[in-house]
Structure 1
């Protein structure tokens, strides 16, 4: 009987997914890692072994996802922890991003997660145990970043269905944690991981300034260490009652705090107007 859990991680060839996979393997866990590039996985984490299974998988392809999950269970006998992590950033204002650019973002960042959830929950439900981590972003809690509206909206979507999923899986003893990372020093903002608008509109000066700040100044200078994020996820998974929401990074806590203060202030300011909507009693 395995004493260490089996983790299924999407987007395991780079960024947070890679840091987590490495940390788990080093500590004796079993890992199935997926990526669109099998060679990238093998180069970073090695060939298939008793403890590691590299899988080429496109999260937007439901058949691919189903086969990868079946292969993982065939290899390890079980899946204990699922980390929905694969995704990319799309920069651009709502006006300048094309319909196709927006759909591509949702295909990977939203429907990719749902493909994994749809195919893995039946196994977790039947075994009556497991843990799902859905990686959102602090941009899935705070959306006031000009030029990042579509990206943030995909992460807000992840937050919404993760909260529902947590309730749906309670009866089956499956834990669900929604993760809001701040800025981590990965290649997320590097070429190949983040996309800029195909037809930018220069009139959006604030969006262009924030775009250049992310690509030129923030990239490589992010305040958070992905290895420490990996440590945090492992610790959360070991808790008897893991949280439904996990903010990662002092910056994430800062932005979340500002959002909470704003909401509380606006609730108080407009309470009389906002609560004057009830149907008046006829008695």
Structure 2
């Protein structure tokens, strides 16, 4: 099951597992975005922030077993260009934090009965930053993703359930291009969607705890974390 599977990385991952012949469920807020070649996928119109609909979808699909849950759903706001008011703040928290927590909780309940399975969440290198001026709330939510993955991994490891945290840098998706006036090529170490999906699939297959890519971004983040806050504020 892929939550956030109607676009971007979620869609690409769902397509990979469909082409492999797996039984795949795709969850998203707008199922009309699914392409024609997804006719073999089971689809659920779900907002991850809505625990009721999320629970109904997982219960329905998991009635025949649940081998893997992949959560790619997430919201980004950059406070340099958008005012993060009360409604936007709550929306981000409910999607990036509460929604993921509920999804993991519901899926773990099914997997514990099987004594098998894998939980996968997409975080961001922003979650590795100690401070991220202009996107500090987003960065904090992505740190929470990593913390949640660590917690569930420790709790579920005795029951043969793996938890994988994916920590990507910039990926050349349609959404990123839209956020950058149609062209995201200026982003540091930007990676093609195809290559990113290959790395994610490899990490999932190996049941790795955490994978950070590209490696250049991993080291850049380490350097940025050594810089004082006022330097980071100069970043354009």
TM class by smaller structure: 0.7 to 0.9
Aligned residues: 224
> Structure 1 residues 218 and 158, CA, compared in 2 at 3 Å: closer, same or farther?
farther
Structure 2 partner of 1:156: 143
State the secondary structure of the residue aligned to 1:91.
coil
* Distance in structure 1 (CA, Å) of the matches to 2:37 and 2:174: 17
Task: Report the equivalent of 1:219.
Answer: 184
Consecutive aligned runs of 4 or more in structure 1 exceeding 3 Å deviation = none
**Match runs of 1:8-27 below 5 Å:** 8-27=1-20
Q: Does 2:97 match 1:101?
A: no
| Aligned counterpart, 2:201 | 234
- SS of the residue 2:24 aligns to: strand
Q: Does the 8 Å contact 2:169/2:213 carry over to 1?
A: yes
Change in Cα spacing, 1:145 to 1:68, as seen in structure 2 (3 Å) is same
Q: Whole-Å Cα distance in 2 between the matches of residues 221 and 259 of structure 1?
A: 18
- Do the aligned partners of residues 249 and 80 (structure 1) sit closer, same or farther apart at CA in structure 2, a change above 3 Å counting? same
> 1-side partners of 2:224 and 2:158: how far apart?
32
Counterpart residue number, 2:56: 67
Compute the TM-score of the two structures, normalised by the length of structure 1.
Answer: 0.72
Equivalent position of 1:273 in the other structure: none
Alignment counterpart, residue 185 of structure 1, candidates 152, 167, 172: 172
TM-score, normalising length: structure 2: 0.86
RMSD of aligned Cα (Å): 2.3
| Match among 126, 130, 133 for residue 113 of structure 2 | 126
- Corresponding residue for residue 128 of structure 2: 141
Output aligned runs, 1:43-122, within 5 Å.
43=35, 45-47=37-39, 49=40, 52-74=41-63, 77-92=64-79, 97-122=84-109
Contact 2:127–2:142 (CA under 8 A) maintained in structure 1: yes
Query: Which structure has the larger Rg?
Result: 1
* Equivalent in the alignment of 1:173: 160
Give unpaired runs (5+ residues) of structure 2. 228-236
